[in-house]
Structure 1
């Protein structure tokens, strides 16, 4: 009983069993299979293009909220205290989350900065996302 029932997928892409049932020759079946493979390649390319468009759209949406931060040499900056520990105690409520000010000594190409404290202590490299300008 199961052998007489065929899946819809087998009707769309004829398998050897369907080809035998419909009386197709091997050459005709091979031609049909090659045509289906070519169509599949086209569908894969279309899917890849849609995926790339979708990823570009998501990237644009995400990058709208990103604020680029760049600092020049000799800028005064503050550095986030790490590790940032979130506590629910009231005694640490007014403690600053930032250390500094520090002077930017060197700017690396990947967004990192070497910092120097007023006493000459060198700090770094520090990622730019952990810095903000100090307005004196």
Structure 2
């Protein structure tokens, strides 16, 4: 069964999203649903240490164009505007071909990052072993059966 609280990645993202929303909603906190787009944009365009990238290009296979770049054109925007349609299509196809490799590299970075975190955490874990006959505290929770229909 799907249980949202057991999905660590979803929980971590929800915590991050809530923290972003807390920073941008008004004092009444009633406008959060109007500001969620801004929070998601901020999340998707912010550099992430574990991936060494922003989430946007990993999802959409192209770098995000920031609103500021439309007002003050960046080098990237100037180059793109100077391309012919044919060159622009060719460049886009090359980006799409490189996407799988970029995602694989990102996955490897995440795994290395998680391994470093795990190693740092495990330094502080005290191993314990129990012998037969020792008293231990056991928590037994009732089994709750749910029936569909």
TM surpasses 0.5 = no
Quick check: which one's strand share is greater? 1
TM-score by length of 1: 0.40
What is the TM-score when the length of structure 2 is the normalising length?
0.37
Larger Rg: 1
